[in-house]
Structure 1
């Protein structure tokens, strides 16, 4: 019996084991919360050990080495506004695509109910893998094989994902991962929320709106970067019987701290069990680590953060060279892990679970509907904390408006 079959909650769901199996006898199957876990057809297994050899939860990698650390943002304001943070991922992706390469990242699927990794080969589709999606993405066998095929064909590949996904892809690729053509980018990860919770939440939003979702943006900057919003846009009736089409309704948008799904995520109520003891933080082998430079106001008060700023950690000379290649399009400055960590503690440390996580997940898996879940779990902070947060949000909006006016 392969070790992956006995991982239990240590499994991070990267799918590398299923992709590596030469007999196809490992299948990623959703558990009661929607998290993918490997199931092994023991009758077909030949005991080669390939699945165990690529698992991020088995064995381990050396700690990532920091080559350089900086704050950075695209010089193109519109590009920043279209991104989650400072627009650096988009610049790296454009560079790879213009060179005939492939970009791999998380994209919405199945009517915005699911997130899957996809391969993008032209700039017209790049928007699909832009912006953060706070749902665990599945990385299918076809993605692993597509990345390997592109590299063997001499094409460059940019693979973006969480640390565990990068670790899984690197292990699957073996020596190919060290080739000049492969660029691995991991994101500073808070944790991977339950796919089932997201599916139920999306269905709830559609019931309330009486129509289907046509777009979701969990990192809308319409209310600013520091106080970003979760935004949901809906379908509308097409022309019928020669009549004019109904106008599209305005997106349903609210500041992230007021969106119940986002509150459940940030309260650590719905994360994958392995996220509370992540096996890959700062040891996934990525070339570049990207994230929002939360706390830039204190760490670098000289920086104009309107529109978003990225924290960029280059872990390898290859990553440093890739970042240098987009340098003419970037405004940046030197920084340090010590300046990034206060606003991004999950860069190095797993988060602590919500005090009632067990109860929350039992309700979710037991079929309790979203409306009742919202009544049982409001994730409200103590009054004093809410007042401080409200004052801070107002201050950030005022500062953001002043900066926008100045720009």
Structure 2
């Protein structure tokens, strides 16, 4: 039997796949459990106990706490980019900069008719839109992606890698000293947790069945109803040219998002995140929730980003795009006030295990929806009402 601690991780595993990519013998495969979460399976017959997998794993050992260099609020001055982004468009600007220098961007993209999410490598701006916006489902990172990042750096190309804290920690663990290169820029997102891929796959199938045609595109952070009260939008198309209708509802009315925000569908490792504020990311990005109360003079209708530079490399990258942003200084406390998951793991829904058991043993989406209502929290209801009031005020002004 292999002695590697990878075999005993159980629920502590975050599913990043770094162990599988790092194994020199190829004896670790990532296989999905009945909730769709990827977990490592070790072939004991060829494992040589070299320890490469443990060195790459974010859940094994300790890492130093990310050293905060600066905290800012920022948003792109491009209305087009803001519309395409979840918050202030800062990731898009960083990505464009890297691509303009002949680099590569690695991020999460929908696949298999939007039923799954996986990390891909993008080498031009045409493919950039696929890795923008929040996905709200765990992304898989294949060996070819890890190797693609490593090979790009070795060939002298810049790489921007974006993911959750555990994914960034896994990529840095895999890269080793290469991760310290000026050619490698890592960005983690303020992460609430990652929901079940199985739940997402079934949800997309259900949405297609309910509408009468397959889902061909998803925007879970549509700003058609504003940034503060964003909507989940599903585009349906019966034709191959992807022309069709879009169904949209404010996030607080979307059942999948309610399950996510209630912490019922999250991976077990998210409840005790091993990489929170210790991923080694050069920059941390997220929505600057509550910004409108701090700076009412700034138009935030299309989103504002919280930007935490954790390294000098990250500061240089942010300064390189600052001339095409509106930005200002902020404090960590201001960011944490609207994003407590930045520094601490979320608490599970009190009946999370029962919900996941229902999912694992095959309950249909209609049955799950009938049993599990996931009523909005007071905070979510207040945000929804504020968004509705702002929309009414905006509409009344446009009629004057």
Corresponding position of 1:393: 387
Q: Distance in 1 between matches of 2:394 and 2:156?
A: 45
Residue of 335, 342, 357 corresponding to 1:340: 335
Corresponding position of 1:135: 137
Q: Distance in 1 between matches of 2:356 and 2:204?
A: 18
Q: Distance in 2 between matches of 1:121 and 1:180?
A: 18
Secondary structure at the residue paired with 2:293? helix
Shift of 1:311: 0.3
The TM-score with structure 1 as length reference comes to 0.94
Shift of 1:232: 0.4
Corresponding position of 2:262: 267
Corresponding position of 1:120: 122
RMSD: 1.9
Secondary structure at the residue paired with 1:215? strand
The TM-score with structure 2 as length reference comes to 0.96
Counterparts of residues 349-364 of structure 1 (less than 5 Å) = 349-364=344-359
Secondary structure at the residue paired with 2:306? strand
Residue of 39, 51, 54 corresponding to 2:53: 51
**Residue 147 and residue 390 in structure 1: after superposition, are their counterparts in 2 closer, same or farther (change >3 A)?**
closer
Q: Distance in 1 between matches of 2:307 and 2:170?
A: 22
**Residue 251 and residue 354 in structure 1: after superposition, are their counterparts in 2 closer, same or farther (change >3 A)?**
same
Corresponding position of 2:218: 216
**Residue 391 and residue 313 in structure 1: after superposition, are their counterparts in 2 closer, same or farther (change >3 A)?**
same
**Residue 302 and residue 128 in structure 1: after superposition, are their counterparts in 2 closer, same or farther (change >3 A)?**
same
Secondary structure at the residue paired with 1:394? helix
Corresponding position of 1:326: 321
Counterparts of residues 17-36 of structure 1 (less than 5 Å) = 17-36=19-38
**Residue 293 and residue 214 in structure 1: after superposition, are their counterparts in 2 closer, same or farther (change >3 A)?**
same
Structure 1, residues 169-209: CA drift from partner, whole Å, max 9, x if none?
Answer: 00100111001000000000000000000001001001111
Corresponding position of 2:362: 367
2:229·2:383 contact (CA, 8 Å) conserved in 1? no
1:5·1:40 contact (CA, 8 Å) conserved in 2? yes
Corresponding position of 1:5: 7
1:66·1:313 contact (CA, 8 Å) conserved in 2? yes
1:104 aligns with 2:106: yes
2:73·2:306 contact (CA, 8 Å) conserved in 1? yes
The gaps in structure 1 that reach 5 residues or longer are 239-244
**Residue 320 and residue 387 in structure 1: after superposition, are their counterparts in 2 closer, same or farther (change >3 A)?**
closer
**Residue 341 and residue 93 in structure 1: after superposition, are their counterparts in 2 closer, same or farther (change >3 A)?**
same
1:306·1:400 contact (CA, 8 Å) conserved in 2? no
Corresponding position of 1:84: 86
Structure 1, residues 68-102: CA drift from partner, whole Å, max 9, x if none?
Answer: 10100001111111100000000000000010000
The gaps in structure 2 that reach 5 residues or longer are none
Counterparts of residues 133-282 of structure 1 (less than 5 Å) = 133-237=135-239, 248-282=243-277
Secondary structure at the residue paired with 1:326? helix
Aligned residues: 398
**Residue 389 and residue 145 in structure 1: after superposition, are their counterparts in 2 closer, same or farther (change >3 A)?**
closer
Secondary structure at the residue paired with 2:271? helix
1:289 aligns with 2:291: no
Shift of 1:401: 5.4
Shift of 1:17: 0.1
Shift of 1:385: 7.2
Q: Distance in 1 between matches of 2:390 and 2:360?
A: 38
Structure 1, residues 149-177: CA drift from partner, whole Å, max 9, x if none?
Answer: 00000000000000000000001001110
2:13·2:59 contact (CA, 8 Å) conserved in 1? yes
Q: Distance in 2 between matches of 1:28 and 1:405?
A: 56
